[in-house]
Amino acid sequence: MPVQSSEPAQIRHQIQTSKVAVVGPEPAFRTDLWRTLSEKFAFTLLSNPDDLTVLLSKSPVPSLVLLDWFTGGDSTGNTALGLLTTILSTRPSLPVIILFDFLDPKQIVLVTRMGAADVLVKPFSEPEIERVIREHITHSNGNSVQIDETPLEGDTSFVRCSQRMREIESQCVLVARTNIPVLILGESGTGKEIAALFIHKMSARNQHRFLKVNCAAMPLDLLESELFGYEQGAFTGAVKSKPGKFEVCDQGTIFLDEIGEMPAALQAKLLQVLQDGSFSRLGSRSNIRVDVRVVAATNIDIKAAIAKKQFREDLYYRLNGFELTIPPLRERRDEIPILADYFMRINCSKFGRDCLPLSVSMMQALINHSWPGNVRQLENTIKRYLVLEDDRAIINELTMLRDAESMSLATDAGNFKSGLKYIVRGVKGNAESVLIAQTLEDHHWNRSAAARELQISYKALLYKIKQYNLVQQKLA
């Protein structure tokens, strides 16, 4: 009596009609695999990597790729590493299973970090490879990666394709339906402002203004007048009344970036706005009422700041009507090829340049980099590539930065300290120069912010800029 399959009919149909592409230099292996499993899966056998590139450009694309790993290059000069990079950069969500001839822990770690879905080491049994194929096909719809790009303001878009960022997208859409304040947490450069813009775009306030205020960029008096406005004669130079951001942004959304840096004297006034929607201009005795949605963001440990009495606890709970945490880029590496391509497109268009190719070696360097400056650092790297037009220079920069980071980690293991003087110990001067230049670019050449991140004095940073003859690069 035949055994009844326990799989639902929909899943059985999905598996039987899914296309599995087998790529590798050994025809005998491909043929054996086809003979063994062709009744269960629809196979496409490819010997030339160029054929796979063509296959991936058409619709529908394969549901899964089996890559028979090979050392060195094939007859056309392709390498297995380059082929994997091409697949993942073209179709980041397409499951790729690597088949190794022997156990090589270093290679396994490498391909897993790059984004390979699974690894099998020969010889493997028929049930084993069938199980792995079935597992990954049932977790994939077999289509190309769904890349969503929502235009926001100007040339800014919210680009996402990873599972982590899709969860962020869902949370943003959910909270956009309400008017509660939102607190966005995450490292510098992760895209907190993009998330704030997306919330505004998805909300009923999207026909009104979205205004950003950087709470760390202005001294107390200037920040207060910027937020709440002032009356004529409120201070020297106030020759006429001026509305603040909260007034101008009535019915809209105000984004308070780096809220953790807001002076304590202003925190109480902001708390009042959040409580009853009212405030007074500088020099005024009357209150103004507004209806403004507040989205705030910070990259500091806000709870530690509360414990140190640097941030009001009651303000934190008012701001934290809904909390979002944007993951760092190193935790969503599958988006690096997508974002690199996006930044290439928008910056080429912005500056009237032809797009430069992202070579396999450069893409590999981008994927492997830790990106301490996150998405902002990646964009600046693509901009530098447009300026230099030399992918080897970019690869060398990323290599030196990685060496500097490794040196920092080695030092931290002994003394748990960080900062520029520990990072550059034992690292050549050119690596120090690259690190400083990178940090300046990440902060848009805000020297005060760069000095804080490098943990050196402002004066020391100016000396280093002069020592290494660093200048801000601008695209023509």
Choosing from 291, 306, 325, the residue where a domain stops is 325
Q: Give which of 156, 150, 148, 269 is closest to 212, Cα–Cα.
A: 156
Query: Tokens in use for 416?
Result: 């748990």
User: Do residues 109 and 202 share a domain?
Assistant: no
Look up tokens 């708390």; give the residue.
Answer: 271
Q: Are residues 310 and 205 in the same domain?
A: yes
449 and 353 share a domain? Answer: yes
Q: From 156, 176, 251, select the one nearest 207 (Cα to Cα).
A: 251
Q: CA 77 from chain center: how many Å?
A: 32
Q: Is 123 in the same domain as 207?
A: no
Residue 375 lies in a domain: yes
What is the rounded distance in angstroms from the CA atom of residue 431 to the CA atom of residue 452?
19
Select from 294, 325, 356 the last residue of a domain: 325
According to DSSP, the residues that pair with 97 across neighbouring strands are: 66, 118
Q: How far apart are the first and last CA of the chain?
A: 76
476 domain-assigned: no
The verdict on 133 and 171 lying in the same domain is no
Largest CA distance in the chain: 96
CA geometry: angle 232, 238, 241, nearest 5 deg? 40
This model's pTM is above 0.85: no
Please check whether residues 165 and 305 belong to one and the same domain. yes
Could you list the residue range(s) of the whole structural domain that residue 398 is in?
331-467
SS (H, E, C) 52-95: HHHHHCCCCCCCEEEEECCCCECCCCCEHHHHHHHHHHHCCCCC
Residues 349 and 321 in one domain: no
On the question of a cis peptide bond just before residue 328, with omega within 30 degrees of 0, the verdict is no
Q: Classify residue 3: in a domain, yes or no.
A: no
Q: Which of 70, 102, 137 is the last residue of a domain?
A: 137
476 residues of the chain, pLDDT tens digit each:
333 333 333 333 333 445 788 887 788 888 888 888 877 788 888 877 777 777 877 766 788 888 888 876 655 557 788 888 888 877 777 888 888 888 777 787 778 777 788 888 888 888 888 888 887 776 554 444 567 888 898 888 999 888 889 889 989 998 998 899 999 999 999 999 999 999 999 999 999 999 999 998 888 878 999 999 999 988 888 889 999 999 999 999 999 999 999 988 899 999 999 999 999 999 888 899 999 999 999 999 999 999 999 999 999 999 999 999 999 999 888 889 889 988 998 898 888 888 888 887 888 889 889 898 999 999 999 999 998 888 888 888 888 877 666 555 455 444 444 444 444 333 434 556 777 888 888 888 888 888 887 777 777 788 788 777 787 765 54
15 is a domain residue? yes
Residue 198 CA to residue 255 CA, distance in Å, equals 12
Domain CATH for 129: 3.40.50.2300
306 and 336 within one domain: no
Q: Where do we find the tokens 């156990």? A: 103
Residue 204: other Cβ atoms inside 10 A:
12
Q: Tell me whether residue 143 is in a domain.
A: no
| Beta bridge partner(s), residue 322 | 182
Asked whether residue 247 is domain-assigned, the answer is yes
Closest to 329 in 3D by CA, of 340, 321, 319, 320 = 340
Instruction: Report yes or no on 474 lying in a domain.
Output: no
Count: domains in the chain: 3
Question: Are 264 and 375 members of one domain?
Answer: no
Q: How far is CA 125 from CA 40, 180, 229, 320, in A?
A: 15, 56, 73, 53
